[in-house]
Structure 1
Amino acid sequence: MRRAVGAGRPARKPSDRSQPPVARRRRSGFTLLELMITLAVLAILATLGVPAMQDMLERNRLKSAAQTLMEDLQWMRSEAIRRNRTLSLVIDADAWCYGITAEDTCDCRLTDATATDACVLETAGTSVLKRIGGGDFQGVQVISITSSLKSPPRLVLEPRRATAPSFGSLTIDSPAGTQLRVVLSKLGRVRTCSPDGVLPGFEPC
């Protein structure tokens, strides 16, 4: 018998060319174009966000300065009654500071309680410095002071019914021009208002 042609030979493997090409996995990461677009978006967001953040910080410092002055006046009123003494809050607009004293005047620029004319109050036999400097509220400035006692300008509270024989107001502003005014009435009442009426949470003056 003749042997069939090709019989017993191993079957040919299909050519690799007949197989579809293997899909390559896409590499993870950013392309240069994607990175540039991302940086551009971040730059736009920063440009929009930084001024708003700065304005918020300035307003918070302005509110903090007004709140500190208001609380000091309220404390001074109750302290005048407790001590049964007239107390004065002396303001230096040029140095942007104020101090509380039982004397007619004091120098709020002095930071040594033992210095002559320092703004101090006697507490348990010790002279305690009572002054606030504008450096605690960066960017906040005093723009006007009204007081029935002009030299030096000061607000005075007396123990009798805690009234203010010297009353008036102090207006401060932020670098952006936002203003707040702390007002001491003749009856010894303290309030804070917004002269231009633009600051939320404060009634117009």
Structure 2
Amino acid sequence: MPPTSRSSYSGFTLIEILIVMLIISLLAGVGSRALSQWQQRQQVKANASDLAYFLNRLRQQATWYHTTIALAAETQGEVTYLVAKSESRTGFVQRWVWKPLSPNVRIIAIQGEPSFYGKRGTAWPGSIEVGNQLVQWRIIVSAQGRIRYCQRQEEECG
């Protein structure tokens, strides 16, 4: 049986391999930037969720002990903390502190004077904004003591 003729040029050229590697590196660069932005958005959302949970616990504490809990921001160095203090009852003041879970997330603003009252679970309305350079979330405390959070850019966030 005679041998079949095969081309001696089977495979890829160096130029073809370099072009494919260039395309892969460009896609990887775009993908890593998108992944980084997604991670930053998720960090802010996790912080907003954690802060809403913290505020719900404060509301429960105020209702359970029939006391007033006021919120304020305190700055130490470059980090801003949310500090909650109960009213003085028999000379004893309780203090709770919330700080952002991620170092690149910070408390941007506190609007109003959000506080919780022990009677009927009511509150002094206000909002707290947390975020970074990419996205911001607002945690809203209503006069009825309800707490919700939404992205700052959404229209219904108010």
Q: Give deviations 1:8-38, integer Å, cap 9, x for gaps.
A: xxxxxxxxxxx95665697997653343123
Given that 1:58 and 1:175 are in contact with CA atoms closer than 8 Å, whether structure 2 keeps it comes out as no
Change (3 A) 1:41 1:71: same
Name the CA distance, whole Å, in 1 between partners of 2:7 and 2:146: 76
Q: Which residue of 2 aligns with 1:96?
A: 80
Asked if 1:64 corresponds to 2:46, the answer is yes
Asked if 1:189 corresponds to 2:142, the answer is no
Q: Which residue of 2 aligns with 1:204?
A: 157
5+ residue gaps, structure 2: none
Asked if 1:161 corresponds to 2:143, the answer is no
* TM-score normalised by L of structure 1: 0.61
Change (3 A) 1:162 1:95: same
Which is strand-richer, 1 or 2?
Answer: 2
Name the CA distance, whole Å, in 2 between partners of 1:52 and 1:27: 40
The higher relative CO (CA closer than 8 Å, separation ≥ 6) is in 2
Q: Which residue of 2 aligns with 1:3?
A: none
Specify which of 80, 90, 98 is matched with residue 132 of structure 1: 98
5+ residue gaps, structure 1: 1-18, 105-117, 121-129, 149-154
CA RMSD across the alignment: 3.0
Rg: which structure is higher? Answer: 1
Give the Å deviation of 1:132.
2.4
Q: Give deviations 1:136-175, integer Å, cap 9, x for gaps.
A: 2232232221123xxxxxx3212101111x4311122222
State, as a whole percentage, how many aligned pairs show the same letter: 26
SS in structure 2 of the partner of residue 89 of structure 1: strand
Give the Å deviation of 1:77.
0.9
Name the CA distance, whole Å, in 1 between partners of 2:133 and 2:122: 34
Given that 2:54 and 2:98 are in contact with CA atoms closer than 8 Å, whether structure 1 keeps it comes out as no
Q: Which residue of 2 aligns with 1:15?
A: none
Name the CA distance, whole Å, in 1 between partners of 2:12 and 2:157: 53
Aligned residues: 152
Give the Å deviation of 1:185.
1.6
Name the CA distance, whole Å, in 2 between partners of 1:90 and 1:50: 38
Matches within 5 A, 1:19-98: 23=5, 31-92=13-74, 95-98=79-82
Specify which of 141, 159, 171 is matched with residue 106 of structure 2: 141
* TM-score normalised by L of structure 2: 0.77
Which is helix-richer, 1 or 2?
Answer: 2
SS in structure 2 of the partner of residue 77 of structure 1: helix
